[in-house]
Chain A
Amino acid sequence: MTIVEEIKVLKKYLTRRNIDIGIVVLAVLFGIYLGWREIDTLIFAIFIWIILRPVQSRLLAFPALFFLSLTPFLLILKHEEQAEQFAIYAYYFLVMAVMMGIYEVRGGKTKKLKFNKKLNEI
């Protein structure tokens, strides 16, 4: 295979999508290298992914809401540390949601959700 052909093959694989996936994989490896927990590594990877491929801010508010919904139950069951951990995850998603929200109001394009129209109606 000539160098020109090799470059052509490389170009075929070096699509925007593949580069983004590569960066996210690197982010995961970075988390593993630093000894982070799986969930922290996953959230970090999501953070990197939404920078590369912006999604609607309201989508990011859902995981935050999910984690936060669990905290009062954990508090009642006296699992205070777990509750705080979930609040921290909610915080991470809040940061991402606000970031994306600002990106949107500044005119940035984000991926639309299927149930977007329904939410707007509400």
Chain B
Amino acid sequence: MVFNSQWRKFLSFLGGLPFKKSLIFIGGLLILSWVVFVNRFPLGYVIAGGDVPQFIELKENFYNFYYNWEGRALLFYFPFYLLDILGISESSQLSFYLGTFIFGSYLSFYFFTQLIFKKLQESFRVLLALFYALNLYTLYIFSYVWGYSSYQCLYIFIPILVGLFIKFLSTKKNIYGVFFVLVLFLGSSGFANPAFALAFAIFLALLLLFLGVSKIVRFDKHLFTKLAVLAGFSLLVNIYWILPVIPNMQTGVANLFWGNIIDLDWWLAHTSNSIMDTWRLMQYHNWYFPRNFPYPNLHKYYPIFYFLTLIPVFLVLLGLIFSKKRGHSKKLYLTAGALLIVFTMLVAKVSFPFEKINIILYNLWGFNTLRGYEKFAIFTPFIFSLLFASLAYFSQKKRIYLPVLVLLIFIVATPLPFYLGKLQQNTSAIFVRDTVDFSDKDYLQAKYSFLIKIPDEYYAIQDIINNDAQDVNIAILPYNIVDSVGWSNYPKWKLAGSDITRRLYRKDFIHANSGYFGGWFFANKFNNSNSEDPAWIVKLLGTLNAKYVIYHKDVEENFKKASFEKIKTLEKRGLLQNLTDNEYFTLYKIREDLTLPILSWQEGKHEIEPNPKSVVEQFRAINSDIQPANFKRINPKKYIVENVSLNPSLLIFAEPFNANWKAYAVNKDGKKKLIKEHYKARGYANGWEVKDSRNVDKIVITYLSMRLAYIGGVISGITLLFLSVYLLKYYYDYRRRN
């Protein structure tokens, strides 16, 4: 094909590379474009299921999202917020998630090789970047739901961060450190689950150790000083999310994210990955390709994938045989080899032969947050890519060049569903839930799917709920857990996982499948007990500040059967007012006098025990004692209570008890004082004893983590500004010198 000179210039400009190299680079981009194109998502569908639903209605939710996540992952979701403002549909946004991830990973690894393997052939460079973007691990996260959220976005930044880190260590030039810190800030959305930050720190520490052992880096006082400065700046740019997390550490690092205590031994046993699976970049479940092989017509070729998936580790061993005796690339190869050994062990958890060592390791303080498969497995594709890059580097101009090139092409071709398309339509991990032979399933036939269409009926009640100015909650009924606590199961529209409808309404949910009052599953009690008057449930929900009840009819039949008559009785008795009814749910409004306000005063302490009898008794006592507070809601994490001196001494805030909620009494002279007597009121809420309210003008209730997020945001902002000034100065000096 003949290109005219303008085209040549244009293509070279795109890649910043010579013409031939640009063509290869763009070839890689075209392959990725093909992947995004063939994996388009059906219109009207969104991704939900498992722990993470897609962030829908970001235009409306972004404000609340900032407060609920205390600023974490804001950077990641901001472009999607803009897409939402521009009117890009949520189904199309899914392609942006996929595109951002694979293009980002491709470019990140490409730049990594530019930094570390400058003389690597372009064909290798592009193949390796393609492998990093498209492999069985990335296929796993897009066959599940992780890819459609911020949780795995650290993956994109690993190569560029490691490249800058190695450059910084080997050259000791500050500029690499500055870029490292800036990129770390960009990638910090990946630390929304702080366990990934810990895993990344462990990865870098091991990398540093092995670089030292392999004599790529020489440890001296100067290097340690530089590393300390780098660590300091890294901490400062991340302080915006670290500070808000610190108060939660009182209850242990294990609770940082999920907010509950888990059985660690159970988790370790259920997330252990065999050595062979780790080397194949596969996960222990049979939910994922190639074990989940969704192409009946190609089934006879299925055994080929047993060989293809093992090529990466074969290549690693070939590298050991054919590598030069010494040299920089050999040293890097061995560094990556050592990392592979350690990470294979870490991902293996308690599978043989690592049971004893890993039980000790994962029981260390903080390490239990790393129990999930992805926490360490996220690094394995990079380790393999680094091994391949070193191998490719020393195989250039040698006889093994061609075999290495061919094997790399096979490796890149292995995640077949990426190239054949309709990933979530045909290969979704969730299809294995309801069938053993899942090869003939797709998102329309399967009982559950991650691709779901939220029924229009759920959108139709948005006006009723979102136009309600009152600060109230929505209660969900009935109890409907099929397998995991906290997940909702609405088989009528194929949802199994976190309830995505909570993103449709600007009110909080009182979940039917979560524990309240110290882990009491009251909705389960409502389903299974017929000995009490069912009115207790309305009083309980009213106490929890619920005004609306969404009673789901789209749950499994047995849950509906256990609760339907009781709900109808409550409706007939006028305790619940039917606002709208359809085949999916009935929306009720709780009788007005039964919903307790979010902020109220009371004289006596009324403790609700987790049983219906106590609920009824205490509700009666609270109702006769309560006075609504006069308050202003500044934002979801800040309230101001006024006219304090007129009221009784106990202030009750009907949000689940958390020691991070702080109340400050502001005197008439403007002095602010923390109210220390903070206790768990009504068995679940926040209560403060305001002892002497005569001089108190108002009470400010704030969430400590949010305040720390503001402070952290300022510190990170100043650090970024400082680094930007440094960069500008560096650029100016560079221009002057050249």
Per the 8 Å Cβ criterion, residues 275-295 of B in contact with A are 275-276, 279
Residue B330 at the chain A interface, CB threshold 8 Å: yes
Residue A102 at the chain B interface, CB threshold 8 Å: yes
B-contacting residues of A (Cβ < 8 Å)?
Answer: 57-58, 60-62, 64-65, 68-69, 71-72, 75-76, 83-84, 87-88, 90-91, 94-95, 97-98, 101-102, 104-106, 119, 121-122
- A residues in contact with B400, CB < 8 Å: 122
A68 with B313: CB separation less than 8 A: yes
Residue B634 at the chain A interface, CB threshold 8 Å: no
Partner pick for A87 among B276, B316, B340, CB 8 A cutoff: B276
A88 with B320: CB separation less than 8 A: no
Partner pick for B352 among A64, A69, A88, A106, CB 8 A cutoff: A88
Across chains A and B, the number of contacting residue pairs, with CB separation under 8 Å, is: 90
A65 with B321: CB separation less than 8 A: yes
The interface residues of chain B, by DSSP majority, are classed as helix
A106 to B313, CA, bound (A): 25
Selected interface stretch from B302-310, B359-367, B561-569, B611-619: B302-310
A104 to B399, CA, bound (A): 24
A97 with B353: CB separation less than 8 A: no
Partner pick for B317 among A61, A83, A88, A121, CB 8 A cutoff: A61
With A88-B275, A105-B326 already in contact, the answer to whether A76 and B321 are too (CB < 8 A) is no
Residue B344 at the chain A interface, CB threshold 8 Å: yes
A68 with B334: CB separation less than 8 A: no
A91 to B190, CA, bound (A): 31
Task: Pick the most buried of A57, A83, A91: most chain B CB atoms within 10 A of its CB.
Answer: A91
Residue B213 at the chain A interface, CB threshold 8 Å: yes
A105 with B317: CB separation less than 8 A: no
Query: Taking the nearest CB of chain A, how far is it from the CB of B322, in angstroms?
Result: 6
With A88-B353, A91-B344, A98-B341 already in contact, the answer to whether A62 and B321 are too (CB < 8 A) is yes
B307 with A72: CB separation less than 8 A: yes
A101 to B323, CA, bound (A): 10
A94 to B323, CA, bound (A): 14
B276 with A84: CB separation less than 8 A: yes
A61 to B341, CA, bound (A): 14
- A residues in contact with B213, CB < 8 Å: 102, 106
Kindly list the 8 A-B residue pairs having the minimum CB-CB distance in the complex, ordered from nearest.
A61-B320, A87-B276, A98-B337, A72-B306, A101-B334, A58-B321, A87-B275, A65-B317
Residue B331 at the chain A interface, CB threshold 8 Å: yes
With A58-B321, A65-B314, A87-B275 already in contact, the answer to whether A95 and B306 are too (CB < 8 A) is no
Residue B325 at the chain A interface, CB threshold 8 Å: yes
Per the 8 Å Cβ criterion, residues 331-359 of B in contact with A are 331, 333-334, 337-338, 340-341, 344, 352-353
Query: Taking the nearest CB of chain A, how far is it from the CB of B229, in angstroms?
Result: 29
Query: Taking the nearest CB of chain B, how far is it from the CB of A120, in angstroms?
Result: 8
Residue B214 at the chain A interface, CB threshold 8 Å: yes
Query: Taking the nearest CB of chain A, how far is it from the CB of B109, in angstroms?
Result: 23
Taking A91-B275, A101-B337, A102-B213 as given, write out 18 further A-B residue pairs in contact, using a Cβ cutoff of 8 Å, ordered by the A residue number.
A58-B320, A60-B320, A61-B318, A65-B318, A71-B310, A72-B307, A84-B274, A87-B274, A87-B275, A87-B276, A88-B352, A90-B313, A94-B337, A101-B330, A101-B334, A105-B215, A119-B321, A122-B400
